[in-house]
């Protein structure tokens, strides 16, 4: 789907010239914003929540099978370890490249110009203009 205008449908806002390349899913009724000139590859899954925003900035490239997961649980008692549900926002700032199969967890703010290597799991904030990789993702190097 290629948009040349801003689309607002329910709680989803899509900026100009966003490309959504099929077979992705948006779960939940939470807010989702995708900035202009952003590319969403096939198989991207966005788990939204009413209490948490997913914001993907302008000029971002999201690789195939990337997952954005806003929800989690507190650790419960031994009878049921997945305790009370929680949700935290995810912010991907402008110019980022999120590699294939990465997972971005709730509460994360990824700075502008970041590269997330394929298969990484981002569990904490990432400063601008770095490459992160691994499970959990850690800074591997500074980018120009």
pLDDT tens, residue by residue, 18-29: 999 989 999 998
pTM of structure: 0.91
State how beta strands 103-105 and 115-116 pair: unpaired
CATH of the domain at 69: 2.160.10.10
pLDDT tens, residue by residue, 37-72: 999 999 999 999 999 999 999 999 999 999 999 999
Residue 109 lies in a domain: yes
Q: Which position among 23, 25, 42, 73 bears the catalytic label?
A: 73
Spatial distance between the Cα atoms of 32 and 110, rounded to a whole number of angstroms: 16
CA distances from 75 to 71, 81, 90, 143 (A): 13, 5, 21, 37
Catalytic, 84? Answer: no
Residue 77 lies in domain: 7-142
Angle at 86 between CA 25 and CA 99, to 5 degrees: 40
When mean pLDDT is compared across 2-11, 62-71, 93-102, 103-112, the lowest value belongs to 2-11
> Residues 36, 4, 24, 69: what is their CA dihedral angle, to the nearest 10 degrees?
30
């Amino acid at each position: 789907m290629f948009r040349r205008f801003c689309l607002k449908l329910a709680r989803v806002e899509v900026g100009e010239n966003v490309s959504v390349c099929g077979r992705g899913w948006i779960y939940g009724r939470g807010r989702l914003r995708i900035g202009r000139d952003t590319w969403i590859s096939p198989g991207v899954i966005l788990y939204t929540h009413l209490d948490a925003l997913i914001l993907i900035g302008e000029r971002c490239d999201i690789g195939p099978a990337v997952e954005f997961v806003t929800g989690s649980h507190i650790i419960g008692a031994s009878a049921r370890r997945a305790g009370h549900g929680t949700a935290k926002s995810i912010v991907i700032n402008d110019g980022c490249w999120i590699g294939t199969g990465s997972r971005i967890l709730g509460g994360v703010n990824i700075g502008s110009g970041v590269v997330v290597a394929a298969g990484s799991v981002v569990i904490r904030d990432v400063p601008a203009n770095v490459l992160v990789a691994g499970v959990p993702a850690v800074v591997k190097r500074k980018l120009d």
